[in-house]
Structure 1
Amino acid sequence: MFGLFQGSASTYKNLTPAQFSAALRQPGAVLLDVRRPDEFAAGHLPGAVNLDVTSPDFTRRVAALDKTQLTYVYCRSGARSATAAGQLTKAGFGQVHNLLGGVLDWPEKLIR
């Protein structure tokens, strides 16, 4: 574990690409790509759901998700996903993980 960041009520964990990849193999994990739809369409991690963190309806769409599931977030470089991870923890999500370096540091092939 590289870092533990305080949210208002909870924390999220930053994971290296290797840690993130291993963690995604757990059953029931939710994978969120918080980039823009055009970035998602250009290539994303298998099984990812696109929820643009800069979209006005991000908070409403996140509210529909199960807060008890393991949640993994990523973006292009790790900055927007860190913002999203903070918002998720503030919204009551218990287990949130952020991909350090985003897809720029992701060693595996992205899908379209």
Structure 2
Amino acid sequence: MNRILTITLIALVVLFGISKLRTRRVDSQIGYTRISAAQAKTMMQEKPAIIVDVRTPAEFASGHIQGAINIPNESIGAQMPAQLDDLDATILVYCRSGARSANAARKLLGMGYNHVYDFGGIISWPDGLVR
């Protein structure tokens, strides 16, 4: 009985360890950091950051976060956007609901940017917008 219990416990520990390794691998594949809008706001107040709105120009014109620059997700391709010339800059990315910003963050990371943060959609932004 003790032997069966010992073997079962060892098997559970091994399986738990493997599942943790697998979770870490998935997280490292994402690459960029997902943060909340409140965390993004705090980061903007604490250190210089480039705020990138990846919505369309029309969406940007209808209201955006103060200080944001508009680089539509569709325009982010193989070449570095001219407005983002520093690979080590802190880049905070957002869109309307979070799908395009996640896509843009992955593309920016693939281009070599080192500090990319996706804070999802403008719909969760706690402050007012510039129109």
What is the TM-score with the length of structure 2 in the denominator? 0.72
Q: Post-superposition shift, 1:25?
A: 1.7
Unaligned runs of 5+ in 1: none
Relative to total residues, which structure has the larger strand share, 1 or 2?
1
Unaligned runs of 5+ in 2: 1-26
Helix, strand or coil: the match of 2:92? strand
Higher relative contact order (CA 8 A, sep 6+): 1
> Which residue number corresponds to residue 110 of structure 1?
129
What is the TM-score with the length of structure 1 in the denominator? 0.83
Within the candidate set 41, 49, 73, 2:61 is matched to: 41
> Which residue number corresponds to residue 87 of structure 1?
107
How many residues are paired up?
103
- Partner Cα distance (1:111, 1:64) in 2: 20
Over the matched positions of the two proteins, sequence identity in percent amounts to 40
- Are 2:29 and 1:6 equivalent residues in the alignment? yes
Q: Post-superposition shift, 1:62?
A: 2.1
Q: 1:38 to 1:27 in 2, by over 3 A?
A: same
**Letter of the structure 1 residue corresponding to residue 40 of structure 2:** F
8 Å CA contact retained: 2:80, 2:111 = no
After superposition, the CA RMSD in angstroms is 1.6
Q: Which runs of 4+ in 1 moved over 4 A?
A: none
Helix, strand or coil: the match of 1:104? helix
For the pair shown, the structure with the greater C-alpha radius of gyration is 2
Q: 1:109 to 1:91 in 2, by over 3 A?
A: same
